[in-house]
Structure formats: structure tokens, C-alpha cells
């Protein structure tokens, strides 16, 4: 019985010794890739509703036309403006006008914001904005028939690849 206990004790000791023996392992290295895609985005801000006073030859629109965003260097935001009829429904007459870029003093129909312009706007908080006005000549005011006139200006923005 004493021999059995000694044999069992030695067997247990041998088994424990084999379990704690250090195992040699090769060091391995691998890499996990991470990815992200920041899509081009922009926000178009247009002037608010504006009332044109009778005989005013130039009326500033209420607010500026501006674009804020983040686009690729190969892209740009192109904004087109269409000055729709300024119409008197009771007389069925139109009052001609021009949409004017105030800084340039020229009729306005299109503007472009590229990556550089948009990035500058991110850093200074302002960016490119265009002040617009509705210009009506004295001659057109003199020809205007009595009544209320309503019109609209349509702004369409598109993200385009640079030409």
C-alpha cells in the first residue's frame, strides 16, 4: 500500500511537471486595417422672402447666397439661379427685373464653390457668400400696371466633377 501511495504521488508530480513546462512559441505580427469614407456633402443657403418697394431701382435680397461643405478636390458645387417672372395676376402683366451680384454689379446666374473655397469657409466660419439684389429700371416702374406682383428666384445646386 505504501508503494502504491508513493507511485501515485510520483505520477501526480510528473503530470504536474509536464503541465507547467514552458512551451516555445514563435512571435507573430499581423495588421488590422481600418477604413473610412467621408462623402462629399454641402449645404445651400438662399436668401429669404424679400419685399420690393414701389419705385426702388435696387432691392437687396434678404440674406446671402452661400454654400458650406466638404467636397473632394476633383469636385465643385455649382449653383444656378433663374429669375422667374415677377407677375401681376390681376392685370396679367410682368414687371421685368434683373437678379444682380452686388459685388460685381453684373447680372447673376451661376456661381461655383470648390474644395479650396469651402475649406476656407470651414476655417474662418464665413466662406464665400454672394449678396444679390433685384434691380428694376425706372422705365419699367413707369410702365408697371397697378396691382400686386409676385415672383420667385429658383436656385439649383449640383455637385459636379471639375472640368
Question: Is 100:132 a contact under the CB 8 Å cutoff?
Answer: yes
**Which grid cell is 137?**
429700371
What is the three-class DSSP state of 153? strand
Question: Is 134:99 a contact under the CB 8 Å cutoff?
Answer: yes
**To the nearest whole percent, how much of the chain has pLDDT over 70?**
82
**Average pLDDT over every residue of 11-30:** 64
50-92 confidence digits (pLDDT tens): 999 999 999 999 999 999 999 999 999 999 999 999 999 999 9
Domain count, the chain: 1
Residue 82: per-residue pLDDT: 98
**What does pTM read for this prediction?**
0.77
In a domain, 11, yes or no: no
Q: How confident is the model at residue 8 (pLDDT cuts 50, 70, 90)?
A: low
Q: Is pLDDT above 80 for 23?
A: no
Q: What is the CATH number of the domain that holds 123?
A: 2.60.40
In a domain, 87, yes or no: yes
Q: How confident is the model at residue 26 (pLDDT cuts 50, 70, 90)?
A: confident
In a domain, 74, yes or no: yes
118-129 confidence digits (pLDDT tens): 988 766 666 789
Q: 149 pairs with which residues across the strands? A: 88
Residue 2: per-residue pLDDT: 57
Question: Is 153:82 a contact under the CB 8 Å cutoff?
Answer: yes
What is the three-class DSSP state of 11? helix
Which residues constitute the domain of residue 151? 41-161
* DSSP output for 115-146: HHHHHHHHHHS---EE-EEEE--HHHHHHPPS
Amino acid at each position: 500500500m505504501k508503494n502504491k501511495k508513493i507511485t501515485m504521488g510520483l505520477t501526480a508530480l510528473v503530470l504536474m511537471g509536464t503541465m507547467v513546462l514552458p512551451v516555445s512559441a514563435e512571435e507573430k505580427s499581423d495588421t488590422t486595417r481600418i477604413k473610412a469614407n467621408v462623402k462629399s456633402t454641402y449645404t445651400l443657403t438662399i436668401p429669404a422672402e424679400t419685399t420690393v418697394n414701389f419705385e426702388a431701382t435696387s432691392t437687396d435680397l434678404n440674406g446671402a447666397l452661400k454654400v458650406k461643405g466638404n467636397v473632394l478636390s476633383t469636385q465643385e458645387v455649382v449653383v444656378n439661379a433663374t429669375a422667374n417672372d415677377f407677375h401681376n395676376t390681376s392685370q396679367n402683366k410682368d414687371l421685368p427685373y434683373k437678379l444682380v451680384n452686388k459685388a460685381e454689379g453684373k447680372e447673376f446666374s451661376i456661381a461655383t464653390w470648390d474644395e479650396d473655397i469651402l475649406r476656407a469657409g470651414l476655417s474662418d466660419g464665413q466662406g464665400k457668400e454672394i449678396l444679390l439684389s433685384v434691380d428694376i429700371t425706372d422705365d419699367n416702374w413707369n410702365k408697371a400696371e397697378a396691382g400686386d406682383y409676385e415672383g420667385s428666384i429658383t436656385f439649383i445646386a449640383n455637385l459636379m466633377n471639375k472640368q
